[in-house]
Amino acid sequence: MADPKVPILSRLSPPKGAVKGRRRVGRGPGSGLGTTAGYGQKGQRARAGGAIHPWFEGGQTPLWRRLPKRGFKNPFTKNVAIVNVGLLANFDAGSIVGPDKLVEAGFVRGEFERVKILGEGKLEKALTVRAHAFSASAKEQIEKAGGKVELIETTVPAAAEG
């Protein structure tokens, strides 16, 4: 037989007063929550489906309509990650550096569609650099160091072609 002092899951119960009974509304006036069932007298909130969204201002012109509209979100914008030539010096000589390697090394973070290499910094190692775009100075520095520049072709969706 099990020791009565050792708790068993089937014998566990919450302490007295910890669990309240379910609130039964609309069960007669004696319950205290009869007739209107806690919804008060008439009006929108007393009716079925009478929920009011939190930003409703009682019929007053809402804040989002009172404030002026500003700006424009270009749906055709391309998210370009920028890397300077100086960072490429961290890679070993002779290696092929592409977008995947740049992400792996932590030089490019977040979401991007294209990678562009800019010419700030110095590069003295021969690298093969693959990117979607290069500035003229970056291209010059990479080739001057004995490296190679490879353009990654960007695929244009069929719907965008005119």
Tokens of 23: 């609130």
CB atoms within 10 A of CB 63: 9
pTM score above 0.85: no
How many CA atoms lie within 13 Å of 47's alpha carbon, on the beta-carbon side? 6
DSSP 75-143: TT---EEEEEHHHHTTSPTT-EE-HHHHHHHTSS-S--SEEEEE--S---S--EEEESEE-HHHHHHHH
Asked if the 81-154 domain carries CATH number 3.100.10.10, the reply is yes
Domain ranges of the chain: 81-154
Determine the Cα–Cα distance for residues 77 and 17; give it in Å rounded to an integer: 61
pLDDT for 6 equals: 73
The C-alpha atoms of residue 29 and residue 112 are separated, in whole angstroms, by 64
Query: What does the pLDDT read at residue 2?
Result: 61
The single-letter DSSP state of residue 36 is T
In whole angstroms, give the CA distance from residue 118 to residue 86: 9
User: Per-residue pLDDT tens for 132-148?
Assistant: 999 999 999 999 999 99
Q: How far is CA 103 from CA 3, 137, 157, in A?
A: 61, 23, 24
Confidence of residue 4 (pLDDT cuts 50, 70, 90): low
Query: pLDDT tens digit string along 13-60?
Result: 999 999 999 999 999 988 888 889 888 899 888 999 888 999 999 999
Q: Which helix (H) or strand (E) holds 66?
A: helix 63-66
pLDDT for 106-136, tens place per residue? 999 999 999 999 999 999 989 999 999 999 9
pLDDT at 32: 86
Nearest Cα neighbor of 142 from 157, 128, 132, 159 is 128
